[in-house]
Amino acid sequence: MSFGALERDYRRWRIELERFLMHRGSSPDLAAEITQEAFTRLMQVDPPSLVREPRAWLFRTASNLVVDHHRAVMRAPLDHIDESVRDNIADPAPSQESSALSREALAVVGQAIADLPPKGREVFILSRFEGLGYSEIAERLGISRNTVVVHMVRSLAHCKKRLNAYRERGEAPE
What CATH number is attached to the domain comprising 158? 1.10.10.10
Range of the domain at 137: 97-169
Residues 58 and 106 in one domain: no
pTM over 0.75: no
Q: Is the sign of the CA dihedral 106, 112, 115, 117 positive or negative?
A: negative
Residues 13 and 48 in one domain: yes
From the list 156, 151, 154, the residue with the least C-alpha distance to 138 is: 151
Residues 109 and 159 in one domain: yes
Residues 21 and 71 in one domain: yes
The per-residue pLDDT string of the chain (174 residues; one tens digit each, 9 = 90 and over) reads: 677 887 888 899 999 999 999 988 888 999 999 999 998 888 888 887 888 899 999 999 999 999 888 888 777 665 556 666 656 666 666 677 767 777 888 888 889 999 999 999 999 999 988 888 999 999 999 999 999 999 999 999 998 999 888 888 865 544
Max distance between CA atoms of the chain, in angstroms, equals 81
155 close to 112: Cβ distance less than 8 angstroms: no
Whether the upstream peptide bond of residue 47 has omega within 30° of 0, thus cis, is yes
Residues 47 and 108 in one domain: no
